[in-house]
Structure 1
Amino acid sequence: MMELALKFWKLIPGKPQWYVLWLTQPKFIIGVSGVIFDEHKRILLLRHRFWKAASWGLPGGFVLSGEKLEEALCREVREETNYIVEIDALLRMVSGYRLRLEVSFVGRLIGGELCLDPKEISEARFFDFDQLPEGLLPSHRELIALALSRFP
């Protein structure tokens, strides 16, 4: 059976091979998040309307087809806050979730005036590390600590 599949595979050219892969392989999404610092080394946190009430978290979202990971995070921050950010480094990549891969970056604010997307975000603020708010997602608290330890 495997030999027959291999012969078939060699008969079909490039693009149809991708369609076969798409149809036969598991699907998953890629999420991005970022520890974004302002010029005072404060961290940008958001209250997302889709999360539990009173919780805070890092900016982020999902990668669109064909989009670079860093571009996805910059787009998400811009859509949610109107801030312009620059990505400095990859912070962490976590797999093992059933349907997604999470990629986190460190970046910094380089422009824009705060203008929230009210459909997604109810509040956005910069916080000093020693004054992070109650309700901050534990995984995001970890990412912030990791960013500060690697990029003091």
Structure 2
Amino acid sequence: MGYECRSSARNWRRMRGLVEFLMGIWPINWLITVIWRYTPFPRGFRSRIIRTANDRFLVGVMVVILDENGRLFLARNTYDPRYSWSLPGGWMGRNEQPDECIRREIYEETGYELDVDCLLATRTHPRLPSVDIIYRGRIAGGTFRASAEIAEVGFFELDELPDGLMPVHQQLLSLLEIDRMINQNQTSDPDHGDQGS
């Protein structure tokens, strides 16, 4: 046993010398990659290292809701008097999926239940280290109740939006218009019509 310890200590000194030598001639990123690839880390340890070592950013989730008349659902927040109207949404929590997040946010902030239809778009924020995920959805049930963040909600014609709509959300309306045109083309296309009759 004593021999193994001496041998391990000698091997460790050799390894440390090799590491110091390599660090002198190769960039540290290369060394980290080699260690990462060939070291048997305990279960879950790699993901903790990734979370700690990588830059942090936020993931925001929003939803575009249209009623049967094509009017846009907006929420008036309580915290920004300049830009009080916005698409409903919020920040994703740890270990939360984006579609779960938007359902939770809508329910917590408005009392409505949400059906998520599809992913509409993703975008990066111009000033924050964040990514926004934008879904298309529809209200599936519930009744409105004001919350600490949302004072009121409403459906608005696209050409009669309220004053105080967040500028970044105004930019998303062009995506909404494109999405509506695509959907209109699909429903009017005879190849996509009812084939069961």
Normalising by structure 2, report the TM-score: 0.68
Structure 1 stretches lacking a partner, 5+ long: none
Q: Which has the higher helix share?
A: 2
Asked whether the 8 Å contact 1:36–1:106 carries over to 2, the reply is: yes
CA distance in 1, matches of 2:111, 2:128: 32
Structure with greater Cα Rg: 2
What is the match of residue 179 of structure 2? 150
Q: Which has the higher strand share?
A: 1
Once the two structures are TM-superposed, the CA of residue 87 in structure 1 deviates from its matched residue by 1.3
Alignment of 1:105-120 (within 5 A): 105-117=135-147, 119-120=148-149
User: Helix, strand or coil for the counterpart of 1:149?
Assistant: helix
Once the two structures are TM-superposed, the CA of residue 141 in structure 1 deviates from its matched residue by 2.0
CA distance in 2, matches of 1:22, 1:109: 35
User: Helix, strand or coil for the counterpart of 1:77?
Assistant: helix
Q: Structure 1 residues 135, 98: closer, same or farther in 2, change over 3 A?
A: closer
CA distance in 1, matches of 2:40, 2:87: 47
What is the match of residue 93 of structure 1? 122
Structure 2 stretches lacking a partner, 5+ long: 1-22, 182-197
What is the match of residue 130 of structure 1? 159
User: Helix, strand or coil for the counterpart of 1:151?
Assistant: helix
Asked whether the 8 Å contact 2:78–2:84 carries over to 1, the reply is: no
What is the match of residue 150 of structure 2? 121
CA distance in 2, matches of 1:98, 1:55: 19
Task: Could you list the structure 1 runs, at least 4 aligned residues long, displaced by more than 6 angstroms after superposition.
Answer: none
Instruction: State the identity as a percent.
Output: 32
Once the two structures are TM-superposed, the CA of residue 98 in structure 1 deviates from its matched residue by 4.3
Map Cα deviations across residues 57-115 of structure 1 (whole Å, 9 max, x no partner).
11000111111111111111111111111111212111365421111111111211111
User: Helix, strand or coil for the counterpart of 1:139?
Assistant: helix
User: Helix, strand or coil for the counterpart of 1:17?
Assistant: helix
User: Helix, strand or coil for the counterpart of 2:131?
Assistant: strand
Task: Name which of 54, 65, 85 aligns with 1:56.
Answer: 85
User: Helix, strand or coil for the counterpart of 2:44?
Assistant: helix
What is the match of residue 75 of structure 1? 104
Corresponding residue pairs, total = 151
Once the two structures are TM-superposed, the CA of residue 145 in structure 1 deviates from its matched residue by 3.3
CA distance in 1, matches of 2:172, 2:33: 44
What is the match of residue 187 of structure 2? none
Once the two structures are TM-superposed, the CA of residue 53 in structure 1 deviates from its matched residue by 4.0
Q: Structure 1 residues 134, 4: closer, same or farther in 2, change over 3 A?
A: closer
The amino acid of 1:52's aligned partner reads P
The amino acid of 1:68's aligned partner reads Q
Asked whether the 8 Å contact 1:87–1:107 carries over to 2, the reply is: yes
More relative contact order, 1 or 2 (CA 8 Å, 6+ apart): 1
